Structure 1
Amino acid sequence: MLNLFRNTLYIRLQADLLRVLHVESGKSFSEAPVLALRTEERGKRVPLAIGNEALALRDRDGVELANGFRHPRTLLADFAVAEKTLQLLLKRVQPPALLRPRPTVVLQLLEHLEGGLTVIETRGFYELLSVAGARKVYIWTGRELQRHELEHLQFPEAGGNLLWP
């Protein structure tokens, strides 16, 4: 009964791969974090698709592929592209429901962790997920979390670091 009112997503992020698990349903997504965009006459960039659907559009006229997570020093390269990618992703992965609550998101960063994340990077990822639609955000670095840990939002002290909250 309690799971009917829970909505938890576990996102594991790399520049070339975005893996998402909807904890309660077990539904998952594992694709490239790319966004297909078309620029309209007035210069507005309109999102068309994400992941494999976006890659399938790569050769069409007027379609641009963008990855908001590809940069040599950090995983957050383009806030606007990353935000739209995650907004579309959140809609895709969550099961349909009339009164589904906004998700709690556990984000695990898997690259560019040398020397640790700066406070600005951590805050940037928090803001990114909040704007994309998350109700609550946890930012984790360390070992992969197990489903039972995610169901109870347990973060093992010996297995990594909880950077946010």
Structure 2
Amino acid sequence: MLRDFFNQRLYIQLSPQRVKVRDPRSGREVDEVPEIAVQRPPTGKASVLAVGSQARSATAQAGATLHNPFAHPRSLVSDFTLADQVLKAFARRVVGGGMRFVPNPIVIVHPLGEHAGGLTQVEIRALRELALGLGASGAKVWQGPPLTDKQLLSGELPGTGSVLDA
């Protein structure tokens, strides 16, 4: 159906140890460490060498450093710019270049783990902004149990969790 074509979804589960980006319709997913290797030359613009499991080995190059933009003791996002780069790279792997025209999806971001005192309004907004930076037509931050593909596609989220507002 045409309506289903325009009803695209991406589901992102975030933790400092793993990031999973999943397309519930196709079942394609990336589930990797959220690491990024960056090379900062003395002059010029910094460049991304590798993201995910390849990032660690890419740091063998001169001037390269390894970062995890989701690892911070007090906040889920420690470096917004690098987090944006990691999520874009993972989303590209999931969506791929198979179709010339892909409608902008609705992205559901699901921060995993316990967050002492809950997520702050600033963290919720940062997660929404990261999702919108992927080209999303809409973004939701979900707190609760992991969502199934059926729940994601129908938009019927369980009552045992909630969508967080910034």
Please confirm whether the aligned pair reaches a TM-score higher than 0.5, indicating the same fold. yes
Contact 1:36–1:57 (CA<8 Å) still a contact in 2? Answer: yes
Structure 2 residue 128 is the aligned partner of structure 1 residue 126: yes
Partner of 2:24: 23
Q: Does the 8 Å CA contact 1:137/1:164 hold for their aligned counterparts?
A: no
The DSSP-based 3-state class of the residue aligned with 1:132 is: coil
| Aligned length in residues | 164
1:36-71 CA deviation, whole Å, 9 max, x = no partner? 111134242111221012223132222211111110
Contact 1:15 1:111 in 2 (8 A): no
Identify the residue that residue 66 of structure 2 maps to in structure 1: 65
- Answering whether residue 43 of structure 2 is matched by residue 34 of structure 1, we say no
| CA distance in 2 between partners of 1:50 and 1:103 (Å) | 22
Contact 1:140 1:164 in 2 (8 A): no
- Which of 146, 155, 158 lines up with 2:157 in the alignment? 155
Give the equivalent residue in structure 2 for 1:13: 14
Flag the 1:112–1:78 CA change in 2: closer, same or farther, 3 A: farther
| Corresponding residue for residue 51 of structure 1 | 52
Query: Which residue pairs with 2:137 in the alignment?
Result: 135
- Looking at structure 2, the residues matched to 50 and 7 of structure 1 have their Cα atoms a distance apart, in angstroms, of 25
Which of 106, 109, 112 aligns to 2:111? It is 109
Provide the C-alpha distance between the structure 1 equivalents of 2:79 and 2:134, rounded to a whole number of angstroms: 14
CA distance in 2, matches of 1:125, 1:107: 7
TM-score (norm 2): 0.90
TM-score, with length taken from structure 1: 0.90
Residues in 2 aligned to 1:50 and 1:101: alpha-carbon distance in whole angstroms? 25
SS of corresponding position for 2:22: strand
Distance 1:144 1:125 in 2: 17
Give the partner amino acid of 1:38: Q
Tell me how far apart the structure 2 counterparts of residues 164 and 155 of structure 1 sit (CA, whole Å). 15
User: Following the alignment from structure 1 to structure 2, what is the Cα–Cα distance between the partners of residues 135 and 54?
Assistant: 30
- Quick check: 2:25–2:149 contact (8 Å CA) kept in 1? no
**1:134 CA drift (Å):** 2.1
Asked if the contact 1:83/1:131 (under 8 Å) is kept, the reply is yes
| C-alpha distance in structure 2 between counterparts of 1:46 and 1:30, whole Å | 23
User: Hey, what's the Cα distance between the residues in 2 that align with 1:101 and 1:70?
Assistant: 31
Q: CA RMSD in A?
A: 1.7
**1-structure distance, mates of 2:75, 2:114:** 6
Structure 2 partner of 1:145: 147
| Unpaired stretches in structure 1, ≥5 consecutive residues | none
Alpha-carbon distance in 1 for matches of 2:17, 2:73: 12
Q: What letter matches 2:10 in structure 1?
A: L
